[in-house]
Amino acid sequence: MSEEPSIFTKIVNREIPADIVAETDDLIAFRDIHPQAPVHLLVVPKTQQYHNVVELAARNPALMASMVALASQLADRYCGGEFRLVFNTGEAAGQTVFHVHAHVLGGGLDEGSLG
């Protein structure tokens, strides 16, 4: 693919600063710059080959499982293990970066939000 690097790839490559909270060989996690909850972290594969969670689940379920496991670990650390895990798929659903990523949201969420 001859796509431009996504903003997340630029974070992985340390071209753009981020408040990184965890990193593995395959994943990076950092604070969202526009938080929608008291705890709002992003879990992102270091590869941008998957545009959304549907592609990821179909083509690399092991990486998806790793994302969920890291999200759970982060939720344990930052919000007592209780969290929402959100994947936006498609522009109409709110996806703005087409590099698959999970939103880990916790810490006193409004019950009506993200319903």
Report the CATH fold assignment for 7-106: HIT family, subunit A (3.30.428)
Query: Mind listing the pLDDT tens digit for each residue in 64-104?
Result: 999 999 999 999 999 999 999 999 999 999 999 999 999 99
- Over range 101-112, report the average pLDDT: 79
Report pLDDT for 113.
47
DSSP 74-88: HHHHHHTT--EEE--
Nearest to 19 by CA among 5, 2, 40: 40
The answer to whether the CB of 40 falls within 8 A of the CB of 105 is yes
Verify whether residue 101 is a known catalytic residue.
yes
Share of the chain above pLDDT 90, in %: 88
Considering the candidates 51, 99, 101, 103, report the single residue annotated as catalytic: 101
Nearest to 74 by CA among 112, 113, 37, 34: 37
- CA distances for 57 relative to 29, 95, 108, angstroms: 19, 17, 29
- 3: pLDDT confidence band, cut at 50, 70 and 90? confident
The pLDDT of residue 109 is above 90: no
Computed over every residue of the chain, the mean pLDDT equals 92
Return d(Cα 51, Cα 2) in angstroms, integer. Answer: 14
10 versus 3: the higher-pLDDT residue is 10
Report pLDDT for 96.
93
- Where are the domains positioned within the chain? 7-106
The pLDDT of residue 2 is above 50: no
The answer to whether the CB of 105 falls within 8 A of the CB of 92 is no
